Amino acid sequence: MSLLTTLARLEAVRSGRAEPLATVRHRHLSERPMVLVPLTTAGESGAPLAVMLGTDRDAPRLHLVPQPLNRTLRFDFLAELAADLLPYLESFAEDVEQIEGSEKDPETGEKTQVFRELCADAPQLIVPNGAGVHHLALIGRSTRFRRTAEDAEPGPYPAPLRVPLLGRWLTHLTDRAQVPGSSLLLPMTGLLSRHWATGQSHLEDQHLAARLAWHDPPEGLGGARAAELVETGRDEHGQLLHPPAGPATDPRFDEFVLGPAISRYDAAVTALQHAAEQRDGTAAERARAAVRAAVDQLEQVLTAVLLPTWRDVWRGLELLRALPSAGHLEERWTGDRWSYTGHRDRLAAGEPPQPRQDDAVTAARKLAQREREQTRLDVQEALDDPLAMAEHRLAGEAFAGVVADVVLEYDTTGRSPKPRPLVTLHTADRPHADLGREVHRVHGPSTQKAEIVAVDPAEGTITVRVLSGMGRKKEPEPGSLPEPGEPVTFTLFELTVRQSAPLPEPDDTPWTHGGPPGAASVPAAPASEEWE
């Protein structure tokens, strides 16, 4: 946490409300995001209990596993989820544009022009919190290797047809979520934390409803009190008034509501089996009704604990949409579209599922990509948002001020003199830099380098000598230099992180297109992973 964030938190403590950490929205938001609120069964790693999802705030859909320990029911659930989610994920695959690029022939080294398809838009999943992302990754891991009836050796427990495909998509999305600035899958708590500070700690901010309480505290209550009510308020049956955002459920909900409802379901199913064995038609009829009633009741109680979080996620989207979007969103979203397109192509090319563990080369490449994207994100956010730039100024990596003076000077060592003007600005910023350090002008008409020639803390001035970005003539191009009285910002870091190539990252290239061979050479792993 930086001092500026801490300051914003301190202000939030005083005001009792969330305080801004950004002046623009730094993440792409889809026109049609899929909100997904998953629940898991306590004690069972990655065992789904229910999910509420949909693209329409007023029409959430619920899927649940009436007995989470039953493998068949779990497969039924996953098949339902696949049938619901895959059409959304696949709906972006058809509409494409052709992107022109060049490719080097590995043998001749000759560059040839190529066209590559890029999907015009991509899906976006929003979950309540980071634990939700992790849960989807677990579902992805537990399903992508499953065999189905269509496989040569389906094994003893074949999964429904589209379940492994769902697993591969979830794996791709959760993997992509590790890339800084990516937006295919986003946790709402993370989105809110990026844009607002609350008067509580990061730990408490993981509770979606508690952090939202700082945005809309009820009349007369400060954020702290409102958040505490959300965390601890219980009804007369001891149930939380505002259930946690999952995927874990409240233990007391498990004990007093969910547990009994599941037991009722189990009892009804047992009765049904018994009736079937006895060939007792009326008893079977009664038992079937009891099973239905038990499922209905499970639907009711799970809807009741999911709906508040469902509304919270949409409320969060509303808050975020009220912010103007940052300048570089488009560019970063293009990276997400490449990622989506690449996965689409890998599936079409019949590649095996993502391996359990990346091989060393892939792992290293992914790490390098994430580092690169982090740098790009930092720079872009700083360019897009004065509050993000303020972080760099505070850290001594940038300085901003108003131009006091511009003195034209020339470098006469060459054959023809070159303009090397001195620009002095008033600023309280103290860059951590020695004289002679190269700096970069922010938001100039073109990229412009300069070097620091004087720092006068007593006067509050910094003087730089401009080295480039003034055209090729003897005199600087009109408008290429800042005028006295104009605000100007320089950074110590470069502002052009290697532009994202017009073609996708190697990781997003299917091997049929010369992408990394790693994924293809790893055999699809386990045939019969135990799962009970």
Partner 1 sequence: MNVSTNVPPSGPAEPLAQRLAELRGPAPQRSLNARSLAALAANPGCHRRAVLDAAGVDKTALAARLGRPAPFGQSPFAISRGVIFESRLKADDYGALLEPLRAHLGVPADDRAPLLVPDLLHRSGPAVRADRTAEALARAAAEPEAWTLLDHPMLRLDVAGGTAYLEPDALVVHGGRCTVIEIKSFPVLDGSADPAKVGAAARQAAVYVLALQRAAAAAAGQPLADDPYTEQRLPGSPRTSVLLVCPKDFGNRPTAVAVDVRRELATTRRQLSRMTGIGRLLEALPPGTDFDLAADEEGTPARTTEQLTAAVEAVPATYSPDCLSTCELGFHCRAQARCDGRVEQLGRGVRGELGSIRTVAGALAAASGTNGGTTSSGTDDGDPDGVGTDDAAERLAYAAALRAEALGAGA
Q: Which of residues 163-182 bind partner 1 (CB under 8 A)?
A: none
| 218 or 260: CB nearest partner 1 | 260
Q: To the nearest whole angstrom, how small is the minimum distance from the Cβ of residue 23 to partner 1?
A: 3
Instruction: Please pick, from the candidates 93, 224, 291, 301, the single residue that binds partner 1 as defined by CB under 8 A.
Output: 224
Partners of 97 in the beta sheet? 118
359 counts as binding partner 1 under rule CB under 8 A: no
Distances (CA, A) of 186 to 1, 29, 235: 21, 10, 32
Q: Which residues 469-528 are close enough to bind partner 1 by CB under 8 A? A: none
DSSP at 2: -
Considering beta carbons, is residue 8 or 29 the nearer one to partner 1? 8
Three-class secondary structure assignment of 128-188: CCHHHHHHHHHHHHHHCCCCECCCCCCCCCCECCCHHHHHHHHHHHHHHCCCCCCCCEEEH
Q: Please say whether the beta carbons of 185 and 27 come within 8 A.
A: no
Site size for partner 1 (CB under 8 A): 56
DSSP conformation letters of 240-263: BSS---SSSPPHHHIIIIIHHHHH
Interface region with partner 1, contact rule CB under 8 A, candidates 56-64, 382-390, 411-419, 445-453:
382-390
Q: Which is nearer to partner 1, 178 or 334 (CB)?
A: 178
Give the nearest distance from C-beta 47 to partner 1 in angstroms: 8
Locate 308 and state its tokens.
Answer: 């508040």
CB of 389 to partner 1, least distance (A): 7
User: Pattern 405-434, binding to partner 1, x per CB under 8 A?
Assistant: -----------------------x------
Contact 53, 84 (CB under 8 A): yes
Q: Cα separation of 228 and 140, whole Å?
A: 34
Binding mask 293-332 for partner 1 (x = CB under 8 A): ----------------------------------------
CA–CA separation, 48 vs 41, rounded Å? 6
C-beta neighbour count of 446 within 10 angstroms: 11
Distance CA 421, CA 25 (A): 37
Assigned token pair, 521: 């050479």
**Interaction of residue 202 with partner 1, rule CB under 8 A:** yes
Residue whose CB is less far from partner 1, 219 or 532: 532
Cβ distance to partner 1 smaller for residue 222 or 515: 222
In this chain, which stretch among 1-9, 50-58, 180-188, 433-441 interacts with partner 1, using CB under 8 A? 1-9
Considering only residues 83, 221, 390, 422, which one is a binding residue for partner 1 as defined by CB under 8 A? 390
Told to check if 14 binds partner 1 by CB under 8 A, we report yes
Rounded Cα distance between 121 and 341, Å, is: 9
Binding to partner 1 by residue 4, rule CB under 8 A?
yes
Binding test (CB under 8 A) with partner 1, winner from 17, 27, 63, 141: 141
CA 257 distance to own-chain centroid: 33
Interatomic CA distance for residues 173 and 297, integer angstroms: 33
* Smallest distance, partner 1 to C-beta of residue 435, A: 22
- By CB under 8 A, name the binding residues for partner 1: 1, 3-4, 6-11, 13-14, 20, 23-24, 41-47, 68, 138, 141-142, 199-204, 224, 228, 231-232, 249-252, 254-255, 259, 356-357, 385-387, 389-390, 393-394, 428, 529-532
